Amino acid sequence: MILILSEHDRRIIHHSPAPVEQILLEAGINPLDVLVSRNGNLISEDTIAEAEDEILVIRIAHGG
Amino acid sequence: MCTEPAVVYQRNIHRHLCGHHFTAEIERRVADTITLRRMISPGDRLAVALSGGKDSTALLLLLSRLLPAWQNVRLIALTIDEGIAGYREATVRAAEQVACRLGIEHHCISFPDLFGDSLDVLLEGRETQACSICGILRRKAMVIGAGQAGATKLATGHNLDDEAQSVFMNVLRGDLPRLVRNSGADSSGKFIPRIKPLSLISEKDIAAYLVLRNEWKELPECPYTRYALRREVRSVLSRFEFKHPGTMLHLIESKEKIEHLCAGSVISAPLRSCRICGVPSSGDLCQVCLLLQLRER
């Protein structure tokens, strides 16, 4: 699967299907600090990410 | 609630929501907060502090959607431009765009106009105090801006995370007066009442709401946040919230209980008037005049 953390940070991850939350935690990301999108749609962090998925991680910038 | 794919998982109540039900719930919760806490009255001219960032944008969107429910209430957007290079230009543009798109009267005032210089210049040599100094000057700027716009109330986009962080920071500092201070409850008439309609909505939920409403914008983060205690507190609280869902809400509830217990007690010195500008102040000089005077030295 591909984890897109930013325009310049795309990571290919060899991982069996797993909850997005687990993928994020293993990448050192608190799931509460980001939104996650797959194929242009928001998904909840307990969604199972499959090997062929491209997961976009949207960082929530702080400050109102 | 339906068979549509879930976009949000609410950890503290173990519930999944689709996009439609999630956005409807956010709007309902904000409306309930406004109603239960009597935040808005008929005839109010409500200045919405609009930085252009995600929280204030969401606030303006939500209030404009809920507006028809209130009698004769007018919204105006108020943007404060501190002049932070590489950051504020983009967010002010975003603020102008959203206010224009919603057809909302927009006022913008700047630190150079009010205080003689941008925040970057005012902070030279004091960057580690950036957030404290900016906060003092921004609050003054908002009061002036709201006054100029004829506002009866000021709405800010403080969210659940912000409020929980403030509670935690005030406890860490041992600052009881600040912990129990309620900016919306002043009955002296000396301060413009402030309301925080998003105070029970998490930062993540606000971001999700904007994405689902096609209003999400990638904007830079303030460069001065790296100096702030709040940054550390945010990180700690976010970890606690992930491991122990509901932590932030419990912090807010604790604060409200302490406020209730302290009601009627004298927690801080009575207000006086600033010797230079005349605004209510706990000391001889208000924080803004004190800051500007120290700078002149």
The answer to whether residue A20 sits within a structural domain is yes
Q: What pairing do the DSSP bridges indicate for beta strands B272-273 and A41-43? A: unpaired
Same domain, yes or no: B229 and B291: no
Same domain, yes or no: B215 and B292: no
Cβ <8 Å between A44 and B7? yes
Which residues on chain A are in Cβ contact (under 8 Å) with B204?
A: 32-33, 35, 60
Does the pLDDT at position B110 exceed 70?
yes
The answer to whether residue A8 sits within a structural domain is yes
C-alpha B257: how far from chain center: 21
Number of domains in chain A: 1
Mean pLDDT of B76-104: 93
Number of domains in chain B: 2
The ipTM (two decimal places) reads 0.93
pLDDT for B175 equals 86
Same domain, yes or no: B210 and B149: yes
Same domain, yes or no: B94 and B211: yes
The answer to whether residue B228 sits within a structural domain is yes
A1 CA: distance to closest CA in chain B (Å): 20
Does the pLDDT at position B19 exceed 90?
yes
pLDDT tens, A1-51?
Answer: 899 988 888 988 888 899 999 999 999 999 999 999 998 899 999 999 998
pLDDT for B185 equals 52
pLDDT for B272 equals 76
Under 8 Å CB-to-CB from B28, ≥6 apart: which residues? none
Contact indicator for A30, A23 with CB cutoff of 8 Å: no
Cβ <8 Å between B6 and A63? no
Structural domain containing residue B162: 37-265
pLDDT for B297 equals 64
pLDDT tens, B116-174?
Answer: 889 998 888 888 888 888 988 998 899 899 999 999 999 999 999 999 999 999 999 88
Same domain, yes or no: B149 and B220: yes
Whether residue A46 lies within 8 A of chain B, CB to CB, comes out as yes
The answer to whether residue B27 sits within a structural domain is no
Same domain, yes or no: B67 and B212: yes
Which residues on chain A are in Cβ contact (under 8 Å) with B7?
A: 41-44
Cβ <8 Å between A64 and B158? yes
Helix/strand/coil (H/E/C) assignment for every residue in chain B: CCCCCCCEEECCCCEEECHHHHHHHHHHHHHHHHHHCCCCCCCCEEEEECCCCHHHHHHHHHHHHHHHHCCCCEEEEEEEECCCCCCHHHHHHHHHHHHHHHCCEEEEEEHHHHHCCCHHHHCCCCHHHHHHHHHHHHHHHHHHHHHHCCCCEEECCCCHHHHHHHHHHHHHHCCHHHHHCCCCCCCCCCCCCEECCCCCCCHHHHHHHHHHCCCCCCCCCCHHHHHCHHHHHHHHHHHHHHHCCCHHHHHHHHHHHHHHHHCCCCCCCCCEECCCCCCEECCCCCHHHHHHHHHHC
Residue of B15 and B125 predicted with greater confidence: B15
Same domain, yes or no: B237 and B275: no
Does the pLDDT at position B279 exceed 80?
no
Same domain, yes or no: B175 and B277: no
Same domain, yes or no: B280 and B254: no
The answer to whether residue B245 sits within a structural domain is yes
pLDDT interval class at B182 (50, 70, 90) = low
The answer to whether residue B22 sits within a structural domain is no
Q: Any idea which of B103-107, B240-244, B281-285 has the lowest mean pLDDT?
A: B281-285
Mean pLDDT of B277-287: 80
B289 CA: distance to closest CA in chain A (Å): 26
CATH number, domain containing residue B144: 3.40.50.620
Mean pLDDT of B194-212: 96
The answer to whether residue B250 sits within a structural domain is yes
Mean pLDDT of B255-261: 88
The answer to whether residue B17 sits within a structural domain is no
The answer to whether residue A51 sits within a structural domain is yes
Structural domain containing residue A6: 2-59
Same domain, yes or no: B206 and B280: no
CATH number, domain containing residue A10: 3.10.20.30
Under 8 Å CB-to-CB from B101, ≥6 apart: which residues? none
Task: Work out the number of other CB atoms within 10 angstroms of the CB of residue B45.
Answer: 16
